Chains A and B, each alone.
Chain A
Amino acid sequence: MSIRLKPVDVVVVGAGLVGTIVSKELAETGLKVVCLERGRMLDPQHDFAMPYAHDELKYHRHSDIVQNLSRETITFRNNMNETALPMRELGSFKPGECVGGAAVHWGGQARRFLPWDFETRSRTLARYGKQQIPEDCTSQDWGLTYDELEPYYDQFEHLYGVCGKAGNLNGEIQLGGNPFEGPRSREYPNPPVARTYVGTLFAQAAKSLGYTPHQSPSAAMSQPYTNPYRLMLGQCVRGGFCSSHGCASGAKATPLTTVLPALARHSNFELRPFANVIKVNLDADKKRAVGVTYVDAQGREVEQPAELVVLASYTFNNVRLMLLSGIGKPYDPVGNQGVIGRNYSYQTGGRVTLFFEDKEFNHFIGGGTLGTSIDDFNGDNFDHAGLGFLGGAYVAAQSPGATPIRSTPVPPGTPRWGADWKKNVAQYYRRSFSITLHGSCQSYRTHYLDLDPTYRDANGLPLIRMTYDWHANERKLSGYITQKIVEIAKAIGPAKMSVAEPAAGRYSIIPYQSTHNIGGAVMGADPAVSAVNKYLQSWDVPNVFVVGGSAFPQQSANAPTGTIGTLACWAADAIKEHYLKRPGALLGN
Chain B
Amino acid sequence: MQESVDQNAYGYLTQPEVRFLDAAVERLIPADELGPGARQAGVTCFIDRQLTSSWGTHGRNYRTGPWLEGTPQQGFQSRLTPQEIYRAAIRETDLHCNRQYGKAFCFLTAEQQDEVLHALEDGKIELESLSATLFFGLLLRNTEEGFFADPMYGGNRDKVGWKLIGFPGVAAGNYSEHLEKHNVPYRAEPVSILDIQQGKVRVDAQGYPKHVMLDKKD
**Interface, chain A (partner B; CB < 8 A):** 49-52, 54-57, 61-62, 64, 68-70, 73, 76-78, 82-83, 85-89, 91, 194-197, 200, 235-241, 248-249, 359-360, 362, 364-365, 370, 401, 403-405, 408, 416-419, 421-423, 425-426, 429-430, 454-456, 506-510
Contacts and interface: CB of A to CB of B under 8 A. Distances in A.
Nearest to B180: A194
A569 B72 CA distance: 41
A409 to B, nearest CB: 11
Contact of B62 (A77, A88, A405, A416): A88
Contacts of A403: 167
Contacts of B182: 197, 200
B32 interface: yes
Given A50-B207, A365-B186, A405-B144, A426 B75 contact: no
Q: Interface on chain A toward B: helix, strand, loop, or mixed SS? A: loop
Interface residues of B, number: 71
Contact of A506 (B66, B73, B148, B208): B73
Interface string B49-71: 00001110011111110101011
B9 interface: no
A82 B72 CA distance: 12
Interface in B134-188: 140, 143-145, 148-150, 152-153, 161-162, 164-176, 178-186
Contacts of A362: 178, 181, 184-186
Contact of B73 (A200, A422, A426, A508): A508
B165 A408 contact: yes
A237 B171 contact: yes
B209 interface: yes
Interface of B: 27-30, 32, 34, 37, 53-55, 58-64, 66, 68, 70-77, 114, 117, 121, 140, 143-145, 148-150, 152-153, 161-162, 164-176, 178-186, 193, 196-197, 203, 206-209
A87 to B, nearest CB: 6
Contact of B75 (A91, A238, A240): A91
A78 B63 CA distance: 21
Contact of A52 (B27, B161, B181, B193): B193
B164 A425 contact: yes
Contacts of B164: 422, 425-426
Contacts of A419: 30, 32
A84 to B, nearest CB: 8
A69 to B, nearest CB: 4
B27 to A, nearest CB: 7
13 contacts: A70-B59, A70-B61, A85-B77, A88-B58, A88-B63, A89-B75, A248-B207, A360-B184, A364-B167, A405-B149, A419-B32, A422-B29, A508-B72
A417 B147 CA distance: 12
A249 B206 contact: yes
- The 6 tightest CB contacts between A and B, nearest first, are A50-B207, A239-B171, A429-B165, A57-B149, A404-B148, A508-B73
A405 B167 CA distance: 11
Contacts of A82: 71
- Taking each of A49, A57, A236, A507, which has the highest tally of chain B beta carbons within 10 Å of its own beta carbon? A57
A421 B165 CA distance: 12
B75 A88 contact: yes
Given A417-B29, A506-B73, A429 B167 contact: yes
Given A54-B193, A69-B61, A404-B167, A238 B179 contact: yes
Contact of A86 (B29, B64, B184): B64
Contact of A54 (B29, B34, B170): B170
A508 B72 CA distance: 8
B180 to A, nearest CB: 5
B173 A239 contact: yes
A76 B74 contact: yes
A26 B114 CA distance: 64
Nearest to A241: B171
B167 A69 contact: no
Nearest to A250: B206
B126 to A, nearest CB: 21
B204 to A, nearest CB: 9
A506 B58 CA distance: 27
Most chain A C-beta atoms within 10 Å of own C-beta, residue among B166, B168, B169: B166
Nearest to B216: A360
A51 B145 contact: no
Contacts of B181: 197, 362
Contacts of B145: 57, 61, 405
Contact of A365 (B55, B179, B207): B179
Nearest to B172: A239
B196 to A, nearest CB: 5
A365 to B, nearest CB: 5
A401 B186 CA distance: 13
A237 B149 contact: no
Given A429-B166, A509-B73, A364 B171 contact: yes
Contacts of A239: 171-173, 175, 208
B51 to A, nearest CB: 13
Contacts of B206: 50, 248-249
A170 to B, nearest CB: 31
B83 to A, nearest CB: 15
Contacts of B186: 362, 365
Contacts of A509: 73-75
Nearest to A510: B75
Given A88-B61, A248-B206, 11 more contacts: A55-B193, A56-B149, A62-B54, A70-B61, A239-B175, A360-B183, A360-B185, A365-B179, A418-B29, A429-B165, A510-B75
Given A51-B207, A423-B34, A426-B165, A86 B62 contact: yes
B203 A50 contact: yes
A422 B64 CA distance: 39
Contacts of B149: 56-57, 405
Contacts of A51: 170, 193, 196-197, 203, 207, 209
A506 B73 CA distance: 7
B79 to A, nearest CB: 10
Contacts of A429: 165-167
Contacts of A50: 170, 203, 206-208
A83 B197 CA distance: 48
A236 B171 CA distance: 12
B165 A425 contact: yes
Please indicate which of the listed interface residues B30, B32, B71 has the most CB atoms of chain A within 10 Å of its own CB.
B71
Contacts of A454: 66
Given A51-B209, A61-B145, A426-B165, A418 B27 contact: yes
Contacts of B58: 70, 88-89
Contacts of A416: 121, 140
B74 A85 contact: yes
Contacts of B174: 237
Nearest to A196: B179
